[in-house]
Structure formats: structure tokens, C-alpha cells
Structure 1
Amino acid sequence: MLKKGIKYTVALILLLIVGYNSVYIKKLSEVKAAAATGKFDATLYAQTFWQEKLTPGLAKANNLPELLTLLKSDKENAFKNYSHALGIGNLRYFLIKGIGKITASNENDISVTLLPDSVGQEVKLATEFVYGNAVRDALGILSINDFSNTMDMNNVSAEINKKIRTEIIPPFRAQAKKSDVVAFTGAIELNQVHLRLDEIEVIPVSLNLIQK
């Protein structure tokens, strides 16, 4: 019995030693910082969103000439049914598509006149300053609850915009020239209180030159 008691005592001591060495305390601020920086991968999230959500979702893009007509005749209806945004405020985002003829290649954008010719409105395809949340929010499938903090939300936008600047725009810009016809999809940002339809800028998601 004595030997058996000694064995149990030794086993208990070893268990306590292992348990003590395996438990340690971190400051709460360190735990939160690790969770914020270690668990969310904005690059991976943006890539998955682009491939699995945004690209298939382009089929739902609004025809830009038709949208502009609706905005002129029934602004409230257009914003209510076709715009999206994660937060509250006057800025809203639309997923759009269109075809246009290139009229000028500028330093920061490419000017395009919408087709058919009867539309005749000029819009800008952004090629330099691609920023903001337009592409992230225009599809309307993300929620604030999908993110634990605003930094993660903003980092996703930054990664999406980076992809547009580095992968979508350069090959198009290298080939595009005046009088070429381009089919494009993308997102536009509009202020529902201070609406300006003469200054439409498209953040492109796809750009395809049409053979004449």
C-alpha cells in the first residue's frame, strides 16, 4: 500500500508540474491584438470574394445607359432598388455594365462615350486613382457583421482595388487607343443628395476591347 501511495503522489506531482508549465497568462490587449492581426487575411478574403462572389455577380450588373435614364426620371427608385452600401450615409454604389467608344486617353483615366450613339453621354474609366469601397459594396452581398472591425473592412477594399490597379487596368491601358470600342463592367459611386450625372467615374472590374 505504501508503495502504491508513493506512486500516486509522484504521479500527482508530475501532473501539477506539467499543468503549471502549460498554462501562462497574457494581457487581454495582447490577445485582442493577436486576434485582430492573426486570424483575418484580407488578401485571401478579397481573392475569394472576387472569384466566388464578384465575378459571378457581374451578370447582375445594371446597364449603365438605362440606369442613368432611371436616375434622371426617378432618382428615389433607382437608389432604393439598385444601389448598395455597407454603412449609412449619402454615398451609394451601383454595379454597372456598358459599351463605349474611347474618345481620349488621359493621364488618370480614359474617356468613353456610351453606345449606342443615341446615348451620347461621356463617362470616365478610372485607370490611376482606384480607391474607396465601390467595388466591395456594389454587389450588395456583404454585411458589416461579416467583419470584426472597420480595419478589416477597409483592408478588403484596399486588396480589391490593388487587384484592379495591377491586374485589370495595365493590359487594357497598354492596348486601348482612341476610337476603340470597349465593353466594361464595374462600380460607380453616387451621392443621393448631391447627385451629379455629368461626372460619372467607373471603377472597372472587367475591360474588354471589341474587335471592329
Structure 2
Amino acid sequence: MKQVIKYIVFALLIGLSLYNAVYFESLDDHKRGQNKGVFDVKTLAIDFMASKTETLPAINASEFLVNIADDITGYCKNNGKKLGISDNYNFIIEGNATVATIEDENILLVLNDDKEQHIRIATDFIFGNAIRDASAIADIGDFQNTMDFNSISVELNNIVRETVVPLLKQKVEEDDELYFKGAVEVNTKHPDLQHLKVIPLIIKFKK
């Protein structure tokens, strides 16, 4: 009899252990748990464009052009931001300017600080990593894979292409005065300072 009772108690203990080892949850709860670890690049990009660009530190565009023409390598190393061993350095610049020419793919601006200086605002072919890297919105070391990191640039460029640029092209006219803030990339190995293009983050017309 004692042997039977011992087996019964043993069986109950085994059953209790198995019961506690099994966890049941609904499919919806399971999916939500999985999604907590998913990187939400769109939310990051939207939040940045909506609430971070106004306070983003920027270099005066006129000073930027003077200094980079004087010593492109030294200025880029001391003031630019780049990823890894790339020769591409990225900057956030801002300035007040007058629209000189509306081109097919850009808008040529004359800087109000120095009428001899000009720079272009890109209105087409918005691509690359200038916004992501110049703004330091993210650190590649925080990501387990480069796909998520690269997708930040894609989403930022999409927002500029779909929101900032259409409003600019719709309103802009020659001789308009405006304020701009944006990202620009400079390649120290193959510089083309006469054709630098700013990817616009903020455009404010003076009228």
C-alpha cells in the first residue's frame, strides 16, 4: 500500500512540474511580445523630422564654404562626421539666401552673407547617408545588423522627398529670400565644391 501511495505522490509531483513548465498565451500576445524587439525605423525618422531638426546644431553656410575651400581635408576631419574609413564627410549647415535659379534638379541659392557664394538645394535624387550621419541620429554600434542602420537613411530621404521637397518646389520663385537648414556631403578625395548640394531639412520663406 505504501508503495502505491509513493507512486501516486510521485506521479502528482511529475504532473505538477509539467504543468508549471508549460506556458500558454494567446497568439496576439505572442506577436506583441515579438514586436517589442523590432526596430521601428519609420517612427524614429518621423520623430526626428518633426521634433529634432529645429534644434539640430548647424554651421553657418557662408563660414562653411570659406573654411572648406581654405583647407578641405583639415576642416572635414575637425568638423565633419563620417562613417568608418569613408572619404565622405557630412555636415549640417544653415543660412539665409536668395533664389538665383530654379534648375531641373536643384535650386541655386546666393548666400545673403556673401553674394559671391552660392550653394544648391537638392530637389531631385534625394539619396545617400548625409542626413543620418551629419545629424548623428543613430550610432551603428547600437545595431545588430547594417540593414536596420541603412534603413534609417532610406526613411529620412523618403520624408524629405515626399514632404519637404514638394512644398519647396510648389512655392519657390526666383528672387525669393529664404532660410534653409540641411545636410551636405563632401568627398575629400574627389571634391566638387562648386556643385555642393544640400538635402533640405527645413525651408522657411521670408515672405
Q: TM-score, normalised by structure 1?
A: 0.80
The letter for the 1-side match of 2:39 is F
* Alpha-carbon distance, 1:72 to partner: 1.8
* Alpha-carbon distance, 1:125 to partner: 0.8
How far apart, CA to CA, are the structure 1 residues paired with 2:95 and 2:60?
A: 6
Distance 1:148 1:51, change over 3 A: farther
Distance 1:4 1:50, change over 3 A: farther
Question: Which residue of 191, 195, 207 corresponds with 1:195?
Answer: 191
Question: Please, which runs of 5 or more residues in structure 2 have no aligned partner?
Answer: 25-33
Question: Which residue of 170, 180, 188 corresponds with 2:166?
Answer: 170
3-state DSSP class of the match of 2:179?
Answer: strand
Distance 1:141 1:161, change over 3 A: closer
1:54-133 counterparts in 2 under 5 A?
Answer: 54-57=53-56, 60-116=57-113, 118-133=114-129
Q: CA RMSD in A?
A: 2.7
Q: Which residue of 2 aligns with 1:10?
A: 12
How far apart, CA to CA, are the structure 2 residues paired with 1:148 and 1:54?
A: 26
Deviating above 6 A after TM superposition, structure 1's stretches of 4 or more consecutive aligned residues are: none
The letter for the 1-side match of 2:46 is Q
1:141-160 counterparts in 2 under 5 A?
Answer: 142-160=138-156
The letter for the 2-side match of 1:174 is Q
The letter for the 1-side match of 2:12 is V
Distance 1:48 1:175, change over 3 A: closer
Does the aligned pair in 2 maintain the 1:65–1:119 contact within 8 Å? no
Distance 1:18 1:140, change over 3 A: closer
The letter for the 2-side match of 1:81 is N
* Alpha-carbon distance, 1:44 to partner: 1.7
How far apart, CA to CA, are the structure 2 residues paired with 1:114 and 1:179?
A: 12
How far apart, CA to CA, are the structure 1 residues paired with 2:82 and 2:137?
A: 10
The letter for the 1-side match of 2:121 is L
* Alpha-carbon distance, 1:155 to partner: 0.5
**Aligned residue pairs: how many?**
196
The letter for the 1-side match of 2:85 is I
Question: Please, which runs of 5 or more residues in structure 1 have no aligned partner?
Answer: 24-34
3-state DSSP class of the match of 2:153?
Answer: helix
The letter for the 1-side match of 2:188 is Q
